[in-house]
Amino acid sequence: MGLLEQIQSPLDLRTMTIPQLEELAGEIRSTIIDKVSRSGGHLAPNLGVVELTIAMHRVFDFAHDRLLFDVGHQCYPHKLLTGRLDKFEQLRTSAGISGFPEPSESEYDLFRVGHAGTGISTAVGMARGDQINAQSFTPDARPDGKRVVTLIGDASIVNGVAMEGLNNAGMLKRQFLVVLNDNGMSISKPQGAMAQYFDRVRVSHTYSDFKKGAKELLKHVPGGGMLKEAYHRMGEMTKAAIAEESWFEQFGLLTVGPIDGHDLPTLIEFLTEARDIDRPMVLHVKTTKGKGLDIAEQDATKFHSPKAFSVERDEQLGCRIEMKSSGRSFTAAFGDALVDLMDRDEKVVTATAAMPDGTGVVRALERFPDRSFDTGICESHALDMMAGMAKTGLKPFFAVYSTFLQRAFDQAFQESALQGLPVRLCLDRAGLVGGDGAVHHGFCDVAILRTLPDAVLTAAIDESSLLAAMEFMRTWEGGLSSVRYPREDVDSRFGDAPAFEIGKARLLTPEFDHLEDNRPDVAVLAFGTPAIQAADAIALLGDEYKVALYDARFAKPIDQQLVRSLLERQVPILTLEDHSIIGGFGTAVLEAAQGMGLDTSRIVRHGIPDHWIIQDSRTTQLRQVGLDADGIARMIRHAYAPKQHEVFVAEPTARPEPKPSRANPTLGV
């Protein structure tokens, strides 16, 4: 039996020797590599924090103390040390465990964390809450109180919310530790002045002479007088590693490091000393993303969250990677289309927020470096920058995951839509996203953007329609526009798409070209790729019903002429969308019909139900919510004869309530 299998709780780490901990680190890496190579998942970020996670759990008791993650995709070692080894084989599935911190799984997970930048602020909130509840650690009055630690990494420190958190953390008058996992990477190479600052820090002399500069340091650091007490509590090693000109100290946080994030004895010693400092501080830890797997170290971007892969080693050819093949993705199709637009129109510019590979912008960055920008994990800034470019007459395309658009909604509202500026939003990972689960589903972009006057919202069903949508957006100058598409391979069954015409749907079943001559039993209006599953559903039904299938194309404006024509002929309408049933495309159809004074009783809406959909394959998730062929076939029957056929009810996939902490059952965290 290996050491990892013997871990009953993180407290077992305190009985292990350093050589045993190093052996344990090797076992954790092997477990992660084996699992991710077979199923896919976040690989490089987790390999980089193995020793750091072991050291933190060795020094702190996070069943009692507080551990807040920032960018939750670095939590696999944490899960393996906190009683979830038996579920790790089913990582990122509904039968197993989430790939992100998940309170329903363990008392060691405090927040469901999938977006970057939030850890410091939530940690400040818990630190203040513990103070108000008289539960916070103080060295003299309450040595058994709760300590607070937040682990931030993958360049999320540049996020605006992280800056706001730091600004408030420096005002705390209690223990508060920010562990900065500085791996020199985001999901790809980090961008901006902050990244350049960390590059300089990493190559500078790590251990400064504290005794020479401490007095001068305390004169200039906000709250420096308070830090004198912290200085007296430090060991000599920590004193020697204080960074005297650290950027963080301008926020009032004592800063130590950078130290080697793979040196367990050093990590344990520094964390042990930091544990009892009753002032806010940053421990700057330098790690290697992908540590322990040479291919991941060499290409951390490719192995940030890879598909399943195999490693073949040859004495002459060296290491060769084989990734599971799949079809052409919407992301790849978008990337090629974007390059084509930029090649044809010198006014087209693009930006992404730390996702050049994930959004397909990487080709544009290489081909048009003067018109392509990676802002780092700064969606709000990126969208405002795009608005500024639009104001100068350029044609900006902002490539962003649907789930991360939420972080820039204020900018979509204030600086783009309100100004009437034609910023183009290209929303990757729209709808259900598979293994990343609830933290990453793109389920509300239509609902939030539809509220903005003059916004134009489109969706693609395949590569051809994606190209047509982007060409429409290139020439649309009436204000904010968007196109959404899923984390999926493209399907080319419908052939070349005609040009987009504002507010007009496309008929996919040409036999119903003339409604007055050939009335269908049901009309399916699909917004986006549910049109593909709807075509499969129609094939399943065979001759049972005559079904007209439409690619709706627009959620705003709705094709009112089509809706009127169908309802006036008493044709039942079934709306489909890979989006929340609340506020989405179906709601827009209902509102349009009601606004025209039409009978809405024969409109049936179908989309993502009003509960959280947890991690699993996208195929499984579509089945769970009834957006697969079988589920849509049932909905077509229901739309035709609602009294004879029951409406589809989504499978219950809601998570159990968070487990209460044994240390603080009354607070439930």
Looking at residue 206, what is its pLDDT?
A: 40
Read off the pLDDT band of 655 (50, 70, 90). low
Residue 218 lies in a domain: yes
Residue 88 lies in a domain: yes
Residue 412 lies in a domain: yes
Has residue 23 got a pLDDT over 80?
yes
Pick from 484, 518, 546: which residue ends a domain? 484
Residue 666 lies in a domain: no
379 is catalytic: yes
Has residue 661 got a pLDDT over 70?
no
Read off the pLDDT band of 580 (50, 70, 90). very high
Has residue 213 got a pLDDT over 60?
no
- Based on its alpha-carbon atoms, the radius of gyration of the chain, rounded to whole angstroms, reads 27
Read off the pLDDT band of 159 (50, 70, 90). confident
Residue 130 lies in a domain: yes
Read off the pLDDT band of 215 (50, 70, 90). very low
Looking at residue 317, what is its pLDDT?
A: 44
Query: What is the overall mean pLDDT for the chain?
Result: 87
Are 475 and 514 members of one domain?
A: no
Q: What does the pLDDT look like over 500-543, one tens digit per residue? A: 999 999 999 998 886 667 899 999 999 999 999 999 999 999 99
Looking at residue 243, what is its pLDDT?
A: 60
Read off the pLDDT band of 154 (50, 70, 90). low
| Residue 407, SS3 per DSSP | helix
Are 533 and 472 members of one domain?
A: no
Are 372 and 414 members of one domain?
A: yes
Are 351 and 222 members of one domain?
A: no
Q: Which 8-state DSSP code applies to residue 11?
A: G
Looking at residue 652, what is its pLDDT?
A: 62
Has residue 669 got a pLDDT over 70?
no
Q: What is the CATH number of the domain that holds 617?
A: 3.40.50.920
Read off the pLDDT band of 666 (50, 70, 90). very low
Residue 320 lies in a domain: no
Which position among 147, 289, 474, 546 bears the catalytic label? Answer: 289
Looking at residue 305, what is its pLDDT?
A: 74
Residue-wise burial string across 217-243, b where 16 or more C-beta atoms lie within 10 A, e elsewhere? bbeebebbebbeebbeebeeebbebbb
Are 278 and 343 members of one domain?
A: no
Domains identified in the chain, total number: 3
Residue where the block lists tokens 């902490």: 661
Looking at residue 37, what is its pLDDT?
A: 86
Residue 655 lies in a domain: no
Sort residue 149 into left (φ over 0), alpha (ψ -120 to 50) or beta: beta
Selection from 213, 133, 181 nearest residue 287 by Cα: 181
CB 333 within 8 A of CB 466: yes
Q: What is the domain range of residue 353?
A: 330-484
Q: What does the pLDDT look like over 355-399, one tens digit per residue? A: 899 999 999 999 999 999 999 889 999 999 999 999 999 999 999
Cβ neighbourhood burial of 657 (10 Å; 0-12, 13-18, 19+): exposed
Residue 645 lies in a domain: no
pTM of the model: 0.84
Read off the pLDDT band of 187 (50, 70, 90). very low
CA dist., res. 50 & res. 592, Å (int)? 54
Which position among 279, 291, 371, 407 bears the catalytic label? Answer: 407
Q: What is the CATH number of the domain that holds 97?
A: 3.40.50.970
Residue ranges of E strands in 495-539: 506-507, 522-527
Looking at residue 292, what is its pLDDT?
A: 76
Read off the pLDDT band of 72 (50, 70, 90). confident
407 is catalytic: yes
From residue 323, alpha-carbon distances to 36, 311, 508 in Å are 12, 9, 35
Q: Which residue has the higher pLDDT, 663 or 96?
A: 96
Which position among 379, 463, 488, 577 bears the catalytic label? Answer: 379
